[in-house]
Amino acid sequence: MAGATQELEQFRAETRSWLEANCPAEMREPVRDEDDVYWGGRNAVFKSEAQRQWFEACRDKGYTVPAWPKEYGGAGLTPPQAKVLREEMARIGARPPLSSFGIWMLGPALLKFGTEQQKLRFLNEIARGEIRWCQGYSEPGSGSDLVSLQTYGEDRGDHWVVNGQKIWTSYADKADWIFCLVRTDKANKYQGITFMLYDMASPGVTTKPILLISGNSPFCETFFDDVKVPKSYGEGIPAQVGEVNRGWDVAKYLLGHEREMISGADGGERTAAIGAAMKRGAGELDPLLRAELAQFDVDALAYACMGEKFLDEVKVGKAHPAQPSMMKYAGTELNKRRYELMMAAGGSRALEWYSEETGGGKTARGWLRTKANSIEGGTSEVMLNVVAKRILDLPGA
Amino acid sequence: MPLYHTDDQAMLAETASQFMAEEGAISKQLRHWRDRDCTDGFGHALWKQMAEMGFTGLLVPEADGGLGMGHVEAGIVLEEIGRNLTPSPFLTSSVLAATALQAGSNDLKGRWLPGLIAGDSVFAVAVDEGAKHRPERIRTRAEKSGNGFRLSGQKDFVVQGASADVLVVAARTSGADEDADGITLFAVPKDAANMSHQPVRLVDSSMATHTKFDGVELDGDAVIGEVDGGREVLERMLMAGRVGAAAEGVGVARGAMDMTVGYLKQRKQFGKLIGEFQALQHRAAHLYSEVEIARAAVIKAAQLLDAGSENADLMASVAKAKVAKTARLAVQEGVQMHGGIGMTDEYDIGLYMKRDRALQEFLGDQYYHANRVAELSGY
C-alpha cells in the first residue's frame, strides 16, 4: 500500500514536470469557444500554433486517450494514474488536447465489443485525431423510443445498401465517419439492429445543420439515400461492431456511457458551487436570490460527492448498472437550475446575445443549451422510468 | 480515499444493521417506551447492549479505552439507528460528548469516559438558548468564583437532559454575547446544586429539557479544554454532531423510502398495484436519486472530518442541509403515498415523519446550514 502510494506520488511529480514542459500557457486559458479545443479529423485545422504543439505532445505521449492501452494509441495508465493526470491537468487549467465522439463513445464500444483488428485500426485513428466520428442514433420517429428506428440496411451479399434518416447527429457536417444504428431485420425489434461504421463521404450521405434556440447548430439531420456500405474493411475488420443484428447491445452499453458523460459525474463546472461567483459578478444579491443560490450550492456540492462516489464505485464494479440513469437525471436537472440562477444573477447583462463583454452571449446561449441536457441521451422522464424499474423494481411495463 | 465503505466498514455496517433491526426495532424500542410513557425516552438495557457491541466508545481513542474509530464508522451506526428509529443516547453521548471530552484533561477523561464506554452513563449537550440553534451567540455565563465557576443562565432543547449523568455546557466566561472568544465548555454532573430541568416530551416522543442554571457552583476541573478558548472545541463538537445527525437522517430517509417503495408493490387500487402508476414511479425514482446524493455527501463529510480536512466544516453543513431536504421529502412522500393509513398511529411511516422533524431541528436546520454554506463560501 505504502509502495503503491509512493509510486503514484512519483508519477504525479513526473506528470507535473511533463505538463510544465509541454502545455503552452495559451492552452491553460479557459475554453471560451468550441474551436478552442481541437476536434481532429481529415479537414481539421489548428486554431493556433500552441494548440498544435499541445495536441502533438499529448498524441505522442498517448495522453489524448491516457487510459487506453498503448497498442491502441493510449498511454496505458491505470485508473489511479489517469485520475492523477486529470487532477494535474485540472490544477493548471489545461485544456483537453483532443475532443471527440470517437474518444467518448465509439472508443469504449470498440474496447468492449470490437475485434482486435478493428481496435488496432479505429482506436489508433481516434487517438491520433485522424478521423472524426459522429453518432447516428435518433430518427425523426424514434426519440425516446429509440429501438423503433427505421433506417434500413438491405443485405446485398458483400455490402449493405442503407436508406433512411437520422436526426440530432452531433457535428455530422464536420464528421468523417459515422457509427450508426441500422435496422437489418425488420421482423425482429431488439435483435434486428446492427451497429455499423461507414464513411460520411460515401455517395448518398447528406447532412443539414439544425438551427437551435441557442442560435448555434451543433446538430444535423443526416440523410442516407442508397448508401453502399461494404461488409468488410479488410482482414478481421467487419463494418459492424459486435455481431450483425446484435447492435442494440452495443447501443445500450454506449448509452450508459453517454449518460455518465452528460451527468457531469467527473466534476468540473457541472458540480461546482456558484454563489460566490454570482456575488462577485452582481456586486449585491437580492436576499431571496442569495437564498436560492445557497440551496443550489448545497445540492451542487452534494452532487459532486455523488459523482465522486459513483466513479469510485464504477471502478470496482460496485455501482448498480442502472445508476448512470440516476446520475444523468440528477446532473442535468441540476445544470438547468444552475443556468436559470446564472441568468437571474446576471440580470440584463446576461441577456446580451452578441456583445464582446459576454463572450458573444455565452451565458444566454449556454442557458438555452442546457435545456437539451435533460432530453439528449435519454430524457429525464425515461431516466426516472429506468430507475423505477431497474433499481426500485417497481411493477409494470 | 475512495468514497465508499472499506471492507471493514462494510462489516461494521452489517453488524450494526443486524443489531438495530433486531434489538433496536421500532416495536421493541420506540413504541415500547413511548407506550409506557417512559420519562427517559429510551431503554437503558439497550444502551448497555450497545456498549457490549463496542458502539458506545467507538470514537474514543484506544489509549482512553475506546475503539479509536472515526466518523465514517459512527455514521454507519447512526444510519442504522435512523432506519430503525432506535431511541438511544448514542448521538449526544458517543458522538457529541465524546468529541468534546477528547479536549479535556486526563483527569476529566478518566472520570467520565469509562462510564460512557461501559454504557453506564448518559451524556447530554447544552448549547441552544431559545428555540433555534444559534451557537454563535452564547449568553449563559460562568463567573469566576473561588477556585471554580458559578454558572447562570438557561439552555433549551437539551436532548436527554433529564436522564443525563453529565451535561456538556457551553457558557460564556468573558466578552459579549456575540463574541467568538470567551466561551468555555464545562462537564456538569447531574447532582450539581442549583440546576433544574423542565423535561418536555417532543413530537417524536424523545425527551429534552429546558435546563436552568441558577448559580451552579463548579470546580475548576469541570472545565473541558481551555478557559475562554472553548469556541474551537465547541465547533469541533458541533461538526461531529452535525455529520452524525446527518447520517442518522439518511437512515430515516432510507427507512421511510424502503417502507414506501415496499407499499407501492403491495397496495392495489383500480385493479392494479399502485407502483404501476408512472406518477408514483417517477416520484419514487426522484426520491431515490436524492437519497443517494445525500448519502454520498454524508460519507464525504465524515471522511473529511476523519482526515482533519479544512473543508470538513463546509461539507458538514452541506451534508446536514442536504439530508434535511431529502429526509423531509422522504417522509412527506412516504405519508402521502401510504394514503389514509399513513395518517394512522398503527403504521410506522408517521413515526419516521416525526423523528425527521426533531432531527431536522437538532444542531441547525436546512436554512441555518444553507445560509452557513453561503457564508463559508463568501457570499
CATH of span B232-377: 1.20.140.10
With CB atoms and an 8 Å threshold, state whether A312 touches B3. yes
Q: Are residues A55 and A157 in the same domain?
A: no
Summarize the confidence of residues B150-159 as an average pLDDT: 98
Residue with the larger pLDDT of the pair A123 and A257: A123
Contact status of A285 with chain B (Cβ, < 8 Å): yes
Summarize the confidence of residues A348-364 as an average pLDDT: 94
Q: Is residue A115 part of a domain?
A: no
A241: CATH? 2.40.110.10
With CB atoms and an 8 Å threshold, state whether A396 touches B3. no
Summarize the confidence of residues A354-363 as an average pLDDT: 92
pLDDT tens-digit series, residues B303-347: 999 999 999 999 999 999 999 999 999 999 999 999 999 999 999
Q: Tell whether the model's pLDDT for residue A269 goes beyond 80.
A: no
Q: Are residues A17 and A63 in the same domain?
A: yes
* C-alpha torsion B344→B347→B348→B351, nearest 10: 10
pLDDT tens-digit series, residues A141-179: 999 999 999 999 999 999 999 999 999 999 999 999 999
Query: Model confidence at A1, in pLDDT bands (50, 70, 90)?
Result: very low
Which three-class secondary structure string do you get for chain A?
Answer: CHHHHHHHHHHHHHHHHHHHHHCCHHHHCCCCCHHHCCCCCCCCCCCCHHHHHHHHHHHHHCCCCCCCCHHHCCCCCCHHHHHHHHHHHHHHCCCCCCCCHHHHHHHHHHHHHCCHHHHHHHHHHHHCCCCCEEEECCECCECCCHHHCCCEEEECCCEEEEEEEEEEEECHHHCCEEEEEEECCCCCCHHHEEEEEEECCCCCEEEEEECCCCCCCCEEEEEEEEEEEECECCCCCECEECCCCEHHHHHHHHHHHHHHHHHCCCCHHHHCCCHHHHHHHHCCCCHHHHHHHHHHHHHHHHHHHHHHHHHHHHHCCCCCCCHHHHHHHHHHHHHHHHHHHHHHHHHHHHHCCCCHHHCCCHHHHHHHHHCCCCCCCCCHHHHHHHHHHHHCCCCCC
Please report residues of A whose CB lies closer than 8 A to that of B3: 305, 308-309, 312-313
pLDDT at A2: 58
Q: Are residues A95 and A155 in the same domain?
A: no
| Domain B125-227, CATH homologous superfamily name and number | Butyryl-CoA Dehydrogenase, subunit A, domain 2 (2.40.110.10)
Please report residues of A whose CB lies closer than 8 A to that of B321: 295, 298
Please report residues of B whose CB lies closer than 8 A to that of A275: 373-374, 377, 379
Please report residues of A whose CB lies closer than 8 A to that of B379: 275-276, 278-279, 285, 290, 293
Domain map (residue ranges) of chain B? 7-122, 125-227, 232-377
Give the A:B interface size as CB pairs under 8 Å.
140
Identify residue B125 by its one-letter amino acid code: V
To the nearest whole angstrom, how far is the Cα of B363 from the nearest Cα of chain A? 17
When computed from its CA atoms, the radius of gyration of chain A, rounded to whole angstroms, is 22
Q: Are residues A161 and A59 in the same domain?
A: no
Quick one: CA dihedral A134, A136, A139, A145, positive or negative?
A: negative
Contact status of A276 with chain B (Cβ, < 8 Å): yes
A298: CATH? 1.20.140.10
pLDDT at A267: 72
Give me the percent of chain A exceeding a pLDDT of 70: 99
Q: Tell whether the model's pLDDT for residue A3 goes beyond 80.
A: no
Q: Tell whether the model's pLDDT for residue A315 goes beyond 90.
A: no
pLDDT at B92: 98
Q: Is residue A105 part of a domain?
A: no
Q: Which of A294, A318, A383 sits opposite B373 (nearest CB)?
A: A294
With CB atoms and an 8 Å threshold, state whether B284 touches A273. no
Q: By the 8 A CB rule, do A207 and A222 touch?
A: yes
Give me the percent of chain B exceeding a pLDDT of 90: 98
| Domain B7-122, CATH homologous superfamily name and number | Acyl-CoA dehydrogenase/oxidase, N-terminal domain (1.10.540.10)
To the nearest whole angstrom, how far is the Cα of B10 from the nearest Cα of chain A? 13
Average pLDDT of the residues of chain B: 97
Contact status of B293 with chain A (Cβ, < 8 Å): yes
A53: CATH? 1.10.540
Please report residues of A whose CB lies closer than 8 A to that of B333: none
pLDDT at A5: 82
With CB atoms and an 8 Å threshold, state whether A308 touches B264. no
SS3 B336: helix
Q: Is residue A125 part of a domain?
A: no
Q: Are residues A299 and A373 in the same domain?
A: yes
Domain limit, last residue, from A99, A123, A145: A99
**Can you tell me the distance from the alpha carbon of A147 to that of A133, in angstroms, rounded to the nearest whole number?**
22
Q: Are residues A237 and A286 in the same domain?
A: no
Q: By the 8 A CB rule, do B24 and B80 touch?
A: yes
With CB atoms and an 8 Å threshold, state whether A298 touches B378. no
Write B337-340 long-range contacts (CB < 8 A, 24+): B337/B260, B337/B263, B337/B264, B337/B274, B337/B280, B337/B283, B337/B284, B338/B260, B338/B263, B339/B267
Summarize the confidence of residues A40-63 as an average pLDDT: 96
Number of domains in chain A: 3
pLDDT at A260: 85
Q: Pairing mode, if any, of strands A133-136 and A177-183?
A: parallel
Of A30-44, B42-56, B76-90, B100-114, give the lowest mean pLDDT range.
A30-44
Residue with the larger pLDDT of the pair A1 and B372: B372
Q: Are residues A288 and A216 in the same domain?
A: no
Secondary structure letter of residue B234 according to DSSP: H
Domain limit, last residue, from A191, A214, A246: A246
Contact status of A396 with chain B (Cβ, < 8 Å): yes
Please report residues of B whose CB lies closer than 8 A to that of A301: 297, 314-315, 318, 373
Give me the percent of chain A exceeding a pLDDT of 90: 85
pLDDT tens-digit series, residues B88-108: 999 999 999 999 999 999 999
Q: Which of B2, B4, B275 sits opposite A395 (nearest CB)?
A: B275
Quick one: CA dihedral B257, B263, B265, B267, positive or negative?
A: negative
Contact status of A274 with chain B (Cβ, < 8 Å): no
Query: Model confidence at A271, in pLDDT bands (50, 70, 90)?
Result: confident
Q: Is residue A258 part of a domain?
A: no
Q: Which of B273, B299, B373 sits opposite A298 (nearest CB)?
A: B373
Residue with the larger pLDDT of the pair A90 and B251: B251
Which pTM was predicted?
0.93
Q: Is residue A124 part of a domain?
A: no
To the nearest whole angstrom, how far is the Cα of A313 from the nearest Cα of chain B? 7
Summarize the confidence of residues A185-200 as an average pLDDT: 97
Please report residues of B whose CB lies closer than 8 A to that of A332: none
Query: Model confidence at A256, in pLDDT bands (50, 70, 90)?
Result: confident
With CB atoms and an 8 Å threshold, state whether B374 touches A275. yes
Whether the complex's predicted ipTM is more than 0.90 is answered with yes
**Can you tell me the distance from the alpha carbon of B335 to that of B256, in angstroms, rounded to the nearest whole number?**
9
Contact status of B281 with chain A (Cβ, < 8 Å): yes
Contact status of B370 with chain A (Cβ, < 8 Å): yes
With CB atoms and an 8 Å threshold, state whether B289 touches A291. no
Q: Tell whether the model's pLDDT for residue A182 goes beyond 70.
A: yes
| CB neighbourhood size of A148 (10 A) | 12
Average pLDDT of the residues of chain A: 94
Q: Are residues A278 and A384 in the same domain?
A: yes
A274 phi and psi angles, rounded to 5 deg: -125, -10
Q: Are residues A373 and A271 in the same domain?
A: yes
Q: Are residues A276 and A232 in the same domain?
A: no
Query: Model confidence at A397, in pLDDT bands (50, 70, 90)?
Result: low
Mutate to test the interface with A, among B318, B320, B337, B366 (most CBs of A within 10 A): B318
With CB atoms and an 8 Å threshold, state whether A395 touches B325. no
Residue B323's closest chain A neighbor by CA?
Answer: A302
Q: Which domain holds residue A354?
A: 264-391
Q: Are residues A209 and A290 in the same domain?
A: no
Please report residues of A whose CB lies closer than 8 A to that of B300: 305, 308-309
With CB atoms and an 8 Å threshold, state whether B314 touches A301. yes
Q: Are residues A378 and A271 in the same domain?
A: yes
